[in-house]
Amino acid sequence: MIHRWQVIILSLAGFLLLRAANFTSPLALNNRQAAAKESRAAAGGAVGKAAVAQSTTTSKASPEASSRFYPPDPLTLRLIIQRLLSAASGAKVRGRIFGLICPHHGYLSSGIVAAAGYKQLTLPIKRVFILGPVHQKGKVSGAFIPAIKSYRTPLGEIPLSSIAAKLSQQPGFVAPPKGEATDRSIEMQLPFLQQTVKSFELVPILVGQKVEPTTLARQILPYLTEECLIIASSDLSEGYPFDQASSVDQKTIKAITSFDFKTLSSSEACGRASIATLMEIARQKQWSPQLIEYQNSGYTTRARKQVAGFACLAFCGGEKVGGEKLAPQASKNLKTK
C-alpha cells in the first residue's frame, strides 16, 4: 500500500503541478508557431515544399505535455521528478533492466509507478527506444517516427539517433501524419530519462493501428546493444471502479509476465501493440519479465468510482548488478488470487 509519507510527497508534487498549470508554456507556443510557418511554406508550391522538407528534418519538437501534464518551469519539473524518484517503492529487480513498461497518464496519478522503474536503471545507457500509442483523433495505420532531429523539454534537448531515420524506411513504417510531431506517450517518459539516464540519444516510435508486433520487433532487434533501453509506454484499464480495475489489470499483467500474446491483444492497455513488441524482443533476448509496481489512480487521487490502472514492469537480463540504489520492498498493491 502507498505510505503516508508518499502521500505527502505526492501532494507536494500535485501542488506544484497545479500551480505550474497557470503558466503559459513558451515551448508549446514555439511549437505552434513552427507548425504555422511550415503550413505557409507548404502553400508556396515546389519551393515551399522544399522549405517544409528542410524544416521537418531540422526542427525541434517542443512537447505539448509541458503545458498540459507537467510544468514548463525546469526547476519545478526537476523537483517533482526528484520527489517521485525518492518516494517510489516497488519490487527490487533481479538483473539489469533492458526493457520497461511505464505509464504516461500524468505525474500526479501515475508518476510514482513509473518512478519505481526508472530509479532502478543501470548505467551506462546510450540509446533509448520509446514505443507509444498515438492519441490524436483519427486512425493512424502503421508505425511512424516524427520527422524531427530532437525533442526539447524544460530540462533540455534530446537528440534523435540516426537509427530513427533508418527505421522509418522499413516496411510498415508510414509518413508522420500532418501536424503529428509528438505524443504524450513519448513525452511523459522524457523528463524521467533526463533525470536518471542524463545523456542519451532517442528513437521515438509511435505505434498506430495494424502494426504487427513480431515484424516491428524484428526491425528493432539489430540495433539493440548492451547499452540500450527500450520502453513501452502504456496505461492499463480506465473507467472501472477501484476493485474491478485491479482485477482487470491483474489479467493484463499476468499476460505480460507469462508472454501470453493472445490475452494481451484483447486487453484494455492503450499501448498493447507497443507492449507486445517489447515482449517479443524480450522473448528473443531471453529477458525475464518482473512486476515492479502496480497502482491505480484511486491510490493517489482518492477518487475510486472510476480509476485508471498503471503498472511498471521490467524485462531484465544478465547477473545481478551491485551498487545500485534500489527500492527496499515489493509492492503489495496488486491483489493476487
Q: What interhelical angle do 4-20 and 107-118 show, nearest 10?
A: 120
The answer on pLDDT for 156 being more than 50 is: yes
pLDDT of 141 = 84
Q: Are 192 and 114 in contact (CB under 8 A)?
A: yes
Cα–Cα distances (Å) from 208 to 30, 133, 268, 307, in that order, read 26, 6, 15, 25
Q: What is the pLDDT of residues 31-82, one digit of tens each?
A: 333 434 433 343 333 322 222 233 334 466 666 565 577 888 999 999 999 9
Mean pLDDT of all residues in 292-296: 96
Q: What is the mean pLDDT of residues 98-107?
A: 95
pLDDT of 67: 56
pLDDT at position 228 over 60: yes
Distance CA 188, CA 274 (A): 15
pLDDT, one tens digit per residue, over 61-73 is: 666 565 577 888 9
Q: Name which of 19, 123, 118, 124 is nearest 77 in CA terms.
A: 19
Mean pLDDT of the chain: 80
Return the C-alpha torsion angle 311, 317, 318, 321, nearest 10. -20
Q: Please give the tally of structural domains in the chain.
A: 1
> Residue 213 phi/psi, 5° resolution?
-55, -35
Is 287 domain-assigned? yes
pLDDT tens, residue by residue, 10-26: 555 554 444 443 333 33
The torsion angles phi and psi of 105, rounded to 5 degrees, stand at -70, -40
Instruction: Assign residue 295 the CATH number of its domain.
Output: 3.40.830.10
pLDDT digits (tens, 9 = 90+) for 246-275: 999 999 999 999 999 999 999 999 999 999
Q: 38 lies in a domain?
A: no
Q: What is the pLDDT of residues 115-128, one digit of tens each?
A: 999 999 999 999 99
Instruction: Answer yes or no: are the C-beta atoms of 315 and 289 closer than 8 Å.
Output: yes
Domain housing 115 = 90-317
Q: What is the C-alpha to C-alpha distance for residues 38 and 60, in angstroms, rounded to an integer? A: 13
The residue written with cell numbers 522473448 in the block is 283
pLDDT at residue 62 in the model: 61
Question: What is the model's pLDDT at position 27?
Answer: 33
User: 303 φ, ψ to 5°?
Assistant: -90, 115
Per-residue pLDDT at 191 exceeds 90: yes
Residue 132's pLDDT is what?
A: 95
Burial 39-77 (b: 16+ CB within 10 A, else e): eebeeeeeeeeebbeebbeebbbbbbbbbebbbbbeebb
- Tell me, yes or no, whether 135 lies in a domain: yes
pLDDT value of residue 5: 40
* Spatial distance between the Cα atoms of 18 and 112, rounded to a whole number of angstroms: 17
Per the structure block, which three cell numbers stand in for 163?
537509427
What pLDDT, on a 0 to 100 scale, did the predictor assign at position 37?
41
Stretch 291-301: mean pLDDT, rounded?
Answer: 91
For residue 171, being part of any structural domain is answered with yes
User: Pick from 251, 239, 212, 227: which is nearest to 318 by CA?
Assistant: 227
DSSP string, 162-213: HHHHHHHTSTTB-PPPTT-S--HHHHTTHHHHHHHT-S-EEEEEEE-BT--H
Whole-prediction pTM: 0.79
Q: Is residue 41 part of a domain?
A: no
Percent share of the chain, pLDDT over 90? 61
3 state DSSP class of 120: coil
C-alpha cell at 33: 508557431
Q: What percent of the chain has pLDDT over 70?
A: 73
Amino acid letter, 336: T
Query: What is the three-class DSSP state of 271?
Result: coil
Element (H, E) at 313: strand 307-317
What's the average model confidence in pLDDT over 308-322? 81
Q: What is the CA radius of gyration of the chain?
A: 19
Q: Which of 314, 327, 63 is nearest to 181 (CA)?
A: 63
8 Å CB contact between 125 and 166: no
Residue 129 belongs to some domain of the structure: yes
Query: pLDDT tens-digit profile of 193-225?
Result: 999 999 999 999 999 888 999 999 999 999 999
Could you tell me the three cell numbers for 138? 483519427
Residue 62 lies in a domain: no
Tens-place pLDDT, residues 280-291? 999 999 999 999
Element (H, E) at 302: none
d(CA 264, CA 183): 23
- Cβ neighbour number for residue 139 with a 10 Å cutoff: 10
Is residue 193 in a domain? yes
